[in-house]
Every structure is written in C-alpha cells, then in structure tokens.
Amino acid sequence: MLHLLSLGIYYAAICIVLPLLYFLIAALYNLTLHPLRSYPGPKLWAATRLFWARSLQSGYYHQKLHSLHQEYGPVVRIAPNELVYIDAQAWRDIYVTRHGGHHMEKNTVWGKSPPGTPQSIVSTEEDAHLRNRRALTGAFSEHAVSEHGGVVEGYVDLMVRKLSEMAVGGNGEAVVDMVDWFNFLTFDISGHLSFGEGFGSVENGKAHPWVEISCSFGKGLAMVATINFFSPLDKLLRYAIPAKMLEKMEYHKELVRAKLQQRLSMDGEKKHDYVASILEYNKEKGDKISYEEMRVNMTVLIFAGAETTSSALAAILNQLIKNPVALQKLESEIRSAFQHESNITIASVAHLEYLNAVIEEGIRMGPPAAIGPLPRVVPLGGAEICGQWVPAGTHVSINQYPAFRSPTNFTRPDEFVPERFIEGFQGDKLDVFEPFLVGRHKCLGQKLAWAEMRITLARLLYSFDVRPAGGYEVPDYGGQETYIFWEKKPLMISLHLRN
Ligand code: HEM
Ligand SMILES: *[C@@H]1O[C@H](CO)[C@@H](O)[C@H](O)[C@H]1NC(C)=O
Ligand SMILES: *[C@@H]1O[C@H](CO)[C@@H](O)[C@H](O)[C@H]1NC(C)=O
Ligand SMILES: CC(=O)N[C@H]1CO[C@H](CO)[C@@H](O)[C@@H]1O
C-alpha cells in the first residue's frame, strides 16, 4: 500500500517536474544561447511566449507594443522567436524584398486551417494565394471600381437620406451612434459587391446579425492564433475557446454559404461583383475555382472590406469632432467645392486636398489593422532586416499602431494634424505610413476603400453639422481594445441638418 502510494507520488512528481524542468531549460536557452539573445526587449517576453499571449488577449497589445518600442527602440524581441519593427525600412525588408530567392511567407500560426481544407485569399500557402489573387483581380481593376462606384454612391445617398429623415423628425437634429451607421453602410456595400445584394442594414437602420459576428471574428482569430502557438497543447487548449465564439464563427460560415448559393442561382444576370469576377476567370482560364474555394474566400472578403473601412471612418470622425479647427477647415473645403449635393460623386471628391489629408491623418492615428499586418517568417538562409542579421524561422512584423504613433517617426504623434500630409512637418517620416501594406499581399481593395471614405465624409459634412452628442465624452480612439480589429465604443454624434 505504502509502496503504491509512493509510486503514485513518484509518477506525479515526474509529470510535474519534468515539464517544469523543460520549461525552465527552454527559458534559460532563450535568454542565453538563442540566436536572438542580443536583441533588446523585456527578458520575460524573450524567455517564454506566455507574456506575449497574455498581452494579445488583454486587448491592449497595441499600446504595450507602443511602450515597448519607446523603451527599447525601433526593434524589439517580443517572444523567443519574434521581432517587431517600427522602421520604414522594415516594410521593404519584410514584405517586399526576396531573400535568397524567397519571399517571407505568412506565419502559419495565424492562418492555419486544417489540412485538406481549401485555402483562402489570405492563405498562408503562396501558390493558392496567387491563384486567388488573379481570380479576384478583375473585381478590383480601375474599371471595376468605377463600375462599383454607382453602388457605393447609392448606399451613401441612402444613408444620408435616412439620417436626414431622422433629423427632420427631431426638429433638425438626430443623435446617432455613427459606429453603427458606418457598419450598416460598409457591410451593405461589401455584401452587394460580393453577392450582388446588400443586407438591408442602411434601409432598416438596423444591423444584420452578420455585422456583430464579423466584428467578433477578429477576436476569434486572435484566440485561435494564440492557442496555435502552444503546440502540442493546442489540441487541448482549443476547448478553451468559448462555445459562443465558435457558434458565431460557424453561423458566419453558414450565412456565406446561403448567400453564395443564392448568388450562384442568379447567374445569367450581368453583375459586377466578386462572384462574377471569379466565374469570369473560371471561364477564361479554364481553371476551376470550386464552390468550396469561393465560399472560403467570401468568408474572408466580406469582412476584409467592411470592418476595415468602417473602422477607418470611425477613427477619422472621432478625431474630427475632437478637433474643431480641422473640422471647420474640412467643412469649408467640401461646402465651397459643390453647389448641390448631387454634384458630390466619387470622381468629383477625389481631388479634395484637405479631405485626403484628413483621411490619412485619421488612419495614422487609428489604423484599422492596428496590430498588423500579420507577422512573416524569415526564410531559409536568414535575412537582413534594417541592417541587422535575422536567422531563419524568426517571426517578424511591423505593427501599424506603434509605427504610426512613434515619436521617432512623427512630430507630435498624438496630435491630429492633417497638414502634416500636405506641407509636412520637418523630420516626419511619411514613408513609414503604409496602412494598406506593400508587396504582393497589399490590400486589393485600396481604391475602393478610398472611394468609400471620401464620398461618405463629403456627403455627411455637406448635409450636416456634426458635433459630439450633448454630454457625450468622445473616447480616446487608441485607448480602445483591439484584437486584430478594434472593439469600438459607440461614437454618439449629433447631426444638425443644414438649411
Ligand atoms: C481603410 C480600409 C482598409 C484598410 C486599412 C485595409 C488594409 C489591409 C491590409 C493591411 C492588408 C494586408 C493584410 C496582411 O497581409 O497581413 C489588406 C489585405 C487585403 N484587403 Fe484590405 N484594407 C482596407 C479595405 C479593404 C476593402 C474595401 C477591401 C475590399 C474587399 C479589401 C480587401 C483586401 C483583400 C482581399 C486583402 C488580401 C490581399 C492579399 O492577401 O493578397 N480591403 N488590407
Ligand atoms: C479561393 O480559395 C481557394 C482556396 O484554395 C483558392 O484556391 C481559390 O483560387 C480562391 N479564389 C477565389 C477567387 O475563389
Ligand atoms: C450640380 O447639380 C445641379 C443640380 O443637380 C446641376 O444643375 C448642376 O449642373 C451641377 N453642377 C455641376 C458642376 O455638375
Ligand atoms: C520627426 C522625428 O522625430 N524624426 C526622428 C525619426 O527618428 C530618428 C531616429 O530614429 C530621429 O533622428 C528623427 O529626429
């Protein structure tokens, strides 16, 4: 009996002590012998990935990175095998340049789908990515975007009309949460361009369940990525994902499936949506992008375009209402440029200099991809990044929030000064400002996003005086949580109908 008991204790000790010992030795190795040992950064983060994981899950990873860069400089080791940068040179070295003939590929932990399942446009498999990108390019050409222009203008017009009706019903004033309305707008546009019809959100002034689900998708992704890092524990940790989150991700997939089926059954009508572009590619190239492949891509596309653009609009408006001087300058630019609201089109707003600067400055202070683009992995043979040697297998990235808010890159980084994009501050390093990424994964929807942002802001400020709603304190945009996407607080705006 005694013997059995001591045997039990003995085995228990082995089960606890051995992993602990392994953990300690690994941590010690990471600190003393690891090839990245001489890179600056907090020692605990360099010893084990646990600290990174905890920070990512806290929602304040973007702020933590910002303070780490301020403490340790332009490159920081934030995990045993990961470096982060804020230097403009890193854009080229990580996302554009080939090293020994190889591009840096995406870190699979962030996009690992089970083997055998189709890879999406944001796939970590580069061959699949190229094929995807080609099939979709038709939908994002200059020509296509000008055709999509009518769709965008139509939804923006509908939104302005709905808000005007609300204002008329409220003695000339409507108080609304513009985060909601930007979501209604960009999701309707994205739905329409993907599947040939919107979700009716702007029309009804109500979010389709899709909006909320898509916005929590980022949180799910961050959770899965964190868990994937802890192989082989990931098999168990997966059960730590809240059932509700999994349910939502499943529902999102189900909705895409239904929408896609509906869209495919409409074929024959001439449409200029993403599905049409894919079908066209299939026909021309004799390639066969399967239904499953389309479904996977649509799942990504629907929020790649909607969530990002609505976040950008929210960040810009947030800054504008806190900066009355800039707001007034923008109002007079827009109001003096057009005689009538019907003169405001995607083409006619494109050249408004101050509007463009306001958009850039708003995105600088609140980049939709705050803690992205996703890390890439240094290929076999290693690479030189910002003049320093980095061994193969290291995860490397620029994170936009810390890069765009860094005092080493921007003068008065926490102030909203659109003029910096016109005359410029001496010493500002505008070449670090790449919110849409560079290289072969750069945003496909950049032109579309610009068109949406310009016309939405122009139409809004032409028709309304916008002010913070009475008694409402405008949140510090960068102080909100982010998990891949921003967890945006309400943006309560009082809209006064002009004339
Ligand atoms: C202000 C709005 C937007 C911003 C800031 C933005 C930013 C980005 C960034 C940073 C990436 C690179 C992600 C990575 O590789 O890690 C990206 C990729 C992408 N974006 Fe956007 N985006 C915006 C709007 C849109 C819109 C409207 C669409 C249209 C559907 C779109 C479609 C895509 C697609 C398809 C990719 C993947 C490209 C590839 O991997 O080859 N985006 N975007
Ligand atoms: C979508 O995803 C699949 C996944 O492998 C890919 O092969 C296909 O080419 C993608 N592209 C489109 C436009 O559907
Ligand atoms: C502006 O719109 C008005 C009314 O729709 C129209 O009469 C006028 O010709 C337009 N002006 C320009 C410059 O397009
Ligand atoms: C605007 C600004 O502060 N620029 C700085 C950018 O960073 C370098 C060093 O990293 C400084 O020398 C510049 O003054």
Which bound ligand lies closest to the C-alpha atom of 386? 4
Which bound ligand lies closest to the C-alpha atom of 189? 1
CA 156/CA 160 separation, integer angstroms:
6
Determine the pLDDT at residue 253.
Answer: 78
Choice from 89, 386, 408 to test ligand 4 binding pocket (greatest atom count within 8 A of CB) = 408
CA 22/CA 29 separation, integer angstroms:
10
Which bound ligand lies closest to the C-alpha atom of 425? 4
CA 395/CA 372 separation, integer angstroms:
13
Please name every residue paired with 82 in a beta bridge, in sequence order, or none if there are none.
79, 395
Calculate the alpha carbon distances from 190 to 10, 305, 409, 422, 476 in Å.
60, 6, 34, 31, 28
In the sheet with 376-377, reading across from the earlier edge strand, the strands are 75-79, 82-85, 395-398, 376-377, 105-106
CA 106/CA 124 separation, integer angstroms:
5
Question: What are the structural domains, with CATH classification, of the chain?
Answer: 34-497 (1.10.630.10)
Q: What share of the chain is helix, strand, coil (3-state, %, to 5)?
A: 60, 10, 30
Determine the pLDDT at residue 139.
Answer: 74
Name residues whose C-beta falls within 8 Å of residue 211's C-beta, 6 or more positions apart in sequence: 183, 184, 187, 201, 306
Atom of ligand 1 nearest to the CA of 372: 16
Give the annotated binding-site residues for heme.
443
Determine the pLDDT at residue 267.
Answer: 62
CA 473/CA 430 separation, integer angstroms:
31
CB neighbours of residue 228 within 10 Å:
17
**Pairing label, strands 383-385, 388-390:** antiparallel
CA 281/CA 269 separation, integer angstroms:
17
Which sign does the torsion angle of CA 157, 191, 258, 134 carry? positive
Give the amino acid at 245. Answer: M
Determine the pLDDT at residue 215.
Answer: 67
Choice from 294, 308, 448 to test ligand 1 binding pocket (greatest atom count within 8 A of CB) = 308
Q: How many helices (H) and strands (E) does the chain have?
A: 19, 12
Establish whether residue 117 lines the binding site of ligand 3, counting it when its CB lies within 6 angstroms of any ligand atom: no
Determine the pLDDT at residue 115.
Answer: 42
Angle (CA) 441-313-317 rounded to 5° is 145
**Cβ proximity of 56 and 222 under 8 Å:** yes
Give distance in angstroms: CA of 46 to centre of ligand 4: 27
Establish whether residue 288 lines the binding site of ligand 3, counting it when its CB lies within 6 angstroms of any ligand atom: no
Determine the pLDDT at residue 261.
Answer: 85
Q: Which tokens is 465 given? A: 């005086």
Choice from 123, 129, 130, 131 to test ligand 2 binding pocket (greatest atom count within 8 A of CB) = 131
Establish whether residue 406 lines the binding site of ligand 4, counting it when its CB lies within 6 angstroms of any ligand atom: no
| pLDDT one-digit tens code per residue, 445-457 | 898 999 999 999 9
Which residue's alpha carbon is nearest to atom 9 within ligand 2?
Answer: 132
* pTM metric for this prediction: 0.90
- Ligand 1, residues at Cβ distance < 6 Å: 121-122, 133, 301, 304-305, 308-309, 312, 368-369, 372-374, 435-437, 441, 443-445, 448-449
Weakly modelled stretches of the chain, pLDDT under 50: 113-119
Residue of 238, 196, 241, 240 whose CA lies nearest to 217: 241
Q: Which tokens is 303 given? A: 């929020």
Which residue's alpha carbon is nearest to atom 12 within ligand 3?
Answer: 343
CB neighbours of residue 231 within 10 Å:
11
Determine the pLDDT at residue 114.
Answer: 42
